Amino acid sequence: MFRFSHTDYLYFLFLIPLIISLFWFVTILQKRAIKRFGNIETLAQLMPGFSTQRGWLKVIIFSIALTLIIFGLAGPQFGSKLTEVKRKGIELIIALDVSNSMMAQDIQPSRLERAKQAISRLVDKLSDDRLGLIVFAGDAYVQLPVTNDYISAKMFLSSINPGMVPKQGTAIGSAINLASSSFSPQSETSKVIVVISDGENHEDDPIEAAKRAADQGIFVYTIGIGSPQGSPIPASQENQTSFWKDKDGNVVVSKLDEETLSKVAIAGNGKYIRATNTQLGLLPLFDEVNKMQKTEMKEKIYSEYNDQFQYLFAFALLLLVLEFIILERKNKWLTKLNLFGVNRR
């Protein structure tokens, strides 16, 4: 297992392209200054010690050394000891609707962004529970397998957008089926699926899928996000004044389908909650779900890490010494060497 103990230092890597760009700019200014005195090729004969290649070589060596130093400061570590830990928690899979209708803004800033914010706050509350993420529109995909790695969960969550699923629609049934098969096998802990959707334009039979999940001992909760009155769907995230239109040129209005989501929750032995602008309902739902039966789960994690920065610093020091030894001008002693017996006039 590899990790950085101080990831903030990695932001200094932005200095590398800045240094190279600055040297490139200075080189251009030098060439322009030399052109003022005449032809570069003619002037090169008057400056036999001048070498732009050596300057670039020094910059490249220095940039590599600086990169190694930055990685060293970030604290590279390798896990050296596996320890088995025991935790008590539930397994929770959130199935998030990412269809275009989730970009409607009757829930601010949009249905999808509001849902992502609520899930992020939920992740901050988790401790011993295992979390998985599924995204769906016309198809369903596993975005994050069930895990205790909450950092990865937030990272994957931030990248969720409607473009992730090319096929449009709202396949709630497919999402429930995929979630049911994504839990840890042979685990006796409580398993919960939370579907966050506007419920509109469902293409399959989500109620039957919820029944099958309930038969497996899985609870299915639903959160309806949107308003029954509906809202137009922005045609793009950049242009909020242009909206989707149907084939007749009428603006498409996306409405919350509470009836379907309620039936799904009932079939899945769960509960339906309607989101509002003030509260999505995910945290109160989790407080209720968290009271379910929890069983002891065993997991192997790395408990000890060995620092590896010293190797990076040592190599960086060698490169800095090399960069210091290399002169910007050609070495007159080396130029006198005729290793290949070439006749010079």
Q: Report helix, strand or coil for 83.
A: strand
pLDDT of the residue at 56: 85
DSSP string spanning 241-286? T-B-B-TTSPBPEE---HHHHHHHHHHTT--EEE--SS--SHHHHH
Task: Say if residue 180 is in the same domain as residue 315.
Answer: no
Higher pLDDT, 221 or 305: 221
Residue 227 predicted with pLDDT over 70: yes
Does position 329 have pLDDT exceeding 80, yes or no? Answer: no
Domain annotation covers residue 345: no
Give the separation between CA 332 and CA 330, rounded to whole angstroms: 6
Task: Specify whether 129 is located in the same domain as 222.
Answer: yes
Task: Tell me what percent of the residues of the chain surpass a pLDDT of 70.
Answer: 79
* CATH label of the domain that carries residue 148: 3.40.50.410
- Provide the pLDDT for residue 345: 43
| Digit-coded pLDDT (tens) for 76-100 | 877 555 555 566 778 999 999 999 8
In a domain, 321, yes or no: yes
Q: What is the pLDDT of residues 184-210, one digit of tens each?
A: 887 778 899 999 999 876 678 899 999
CB-based contacts of 230-237 (< 8 A; 24+ apart in sequence)? 230/104, 230/106, 230/254, 230/255, 230/256, 231/104, 231/105, 231/106, 232/104, 233/100, 233/101, 233/103, 233/104, 234/103, 234/104, 234/105, 234/110, 237/103
Domain ranges, residue 313:
2-75+308-336
∠ CA 124-118-252, nearest 5°, is 160
* Whether the predicted pLDDT of 288 surpasses 80: yes
Q: What average pLDDT does this structure show over 270-295?
A: 82
Q: How many CB atoms sit inside 10 A of residue 121's CB?
A: 13
Q: Tell me if 342 is assigned to some domain.
A: no
The predicted structure's pLDDT at residue 332: 52
Predicted confidence band of residue 46 (pLDDT cuts 50, 70, 90): low
Residue 160: inside a domain: yes
Task: Please write the tens of the pLDDT for every residue from 314-325.
Answer: 999 999 998 888
**pLDDT band with cut points at 50, 70 and 90 for residue 344:** very low
- The number of folded domains in the chain is 2
341 within a domain of the structure (yes/no): no
Six-digit token pair at 172? 């709630």
**What is the DSSP code (8-state) at residue 170?**
B
pLDDT band at 307 (very low <50, low <70, confident <90, very high): confident
Pairing of strands 191-197, 140-147: unpaired
Pick the closest to residue 129 from 293, 18, 3 (CA basis): 293
pLDDT category of residue 342 using cuts at 50, 70 and 90? very low
pLDDT at residue 118 is higher than 70: yes
Amino acid identity of residue 199, one-letter, is G
pLDDT(126) > 70 = yes
